Amino acid sequence: MAEDAKTLVRDLIDHHKMPVTFRPGVAHACYSDSEVDHARAYADHLATQYNYTQTEVLDRPGIRRLIGSDRFVGGALDHGAGHIHPLNFAIGLAKAAAAAGARIHEDSEVLTFTPGPKATLKTAQGSITADHVILAGNGYIGGLEPSYPSRVMPINNFIVATEPLGDRARDILSQPVAVADSKFVVNYWRLSDDNRLLFGGGESYGYRFPDILKTVRAPMLKIYPQLADAKITHAWGGTLAITMNRMPALMRPHPNVLAGSACSGHGVALSTLTGKLLAEAIVGDASGFDLLASVPQPRFPGGATLRWPLLVLAMTWYSMRDRLGL
């Protein structure tokens, strides 16, 4: 299904002629020898158990040549993975849906949801009834479905963009790959088409954002101190959703209600696949949906009430371990 998800993204881009380029290559950058050993064991596992042989393990010189930083002792490069411009992809999907007859109402927040043979959804402007409902609000689903919050946690993540780096970009990434490091609160980055460094990192909880520039620039400069003079021209953030096992939370909370969210940072591929599985389930083929929904989805400790303070406590602990290099 993971391979199908990547293929589906590329096929949708091609079929609908979206202004989106799929760029192959996602690197995993490791801070310790033990993490490199884990990356090597994982690559071997993928090769022997799944016949997936596209992961190249990198030593210190190899990772240095690829990502232009002295911070890492090695890593891995997955040649079968890739990255795209996700907003252009989302806009492309919306245009394709609208062309197929879907009506999209971006400013009609659902305030209450009442399940039943005919489900009722109320907004500030009125209400609608529906034969089928898909709950796909990700980190913004709130309390619409009581069974969901205990398994899905909204968190915020942030990205900055530098000014175009010109020829300096080759010293940051020698190939047009995307990178994520091995920290628990992960840092991730790639170059834009106009050679800006897009660097993401930092997390917060609740719906209040910190100073994004300060939050993200600090880890960026730890990895690329040579960019201390580079201007940050854009900074933004948003709310995503995570699960305990970092797998999507697919559920059927009511007979005619499906839920699918919380791809935990893997949403470009997995949420696209999830959308297809949800659609297939509604028209009568729920085999793919039921398979992914059968993956055990543990509840967050403390349930919906205590999950937030417990998560903040846990993330603070892991963030401290990241800073100490443990």
Do residues 86 and 41 touch, judged by C-beta distance below 8 A?
no
- The listed range with the strongest mean pLDDT (27-41, 193-207, 238-252) is 27-41
Question: pLDDT > 70: what percent of the chain?
Answer: 92
Q: From CA 177, how far away is CA 26, in angstroms rounded?
A: 5
User: Which class in CATH covers the domain with range 143-242+296-326?
Assistant: alpha beta
Q: From CA 248, how far away is CA 240, in angstroms rounded?
A: 12
* The pLDDT value given to residue 149: 76
Helix or strand run (H / E) with residue 232: strand 232-242
Ramachandran angles phi, psi of 185, nearest 5°: -90, 95
* Structure tokens belonging to residue 136: 């796909």
* Cβ-based neighbour number of residue 269 at 10 Å: 22
279-310: pLDDT as tens digits:
999 999 999 999 999 999 888 776 555 555 66
* The pLDDT value given to residue 304: 57
* Structure tokens belonging to residue 138: 């990700």
Q: Which of 75-84, 96-105, 236-245, 306-315 has the lowest mean pLDDT?
A: 306-315
* The pLDDT value given to residue 142: 81
Mean confidence (pLDDT) of the chain? 92
Question: pLDDT > 90: what percent of the chain?
Answer: 77
Q: From CA 166, how far away is CA 91, in angstroms rounded?
A: 28
Has residue 3 got a pLDDT over 90?
A: yes
- Please give the average per-residue pLDDT across 237-266, as a whole number: 91
Q: Among 204, 199, 233, which Cα is nearest to 217's?
A: 199
Where residue 141 falls among pLDDT bands split at 50, 70, 90?
A: confident
Q: From CA 233, how far away is CA 192, in angstroms rounded?
A: 13
* The pLDDT value given to residue 244: 85
Helix spans in 199-286 (H) = 212-223, 267-282
Where residue 105 falls among pLDDT bands split at 50, 70, 90?
A: very high
170-196: pLDDT as tens digits:
999 999 999 999 998 899 999 999 999
∠24-228-211 over CA atoms, to 5°?
85
Q: Among 116, 135, 130, which Cα is nearest to 251's?
A: 135
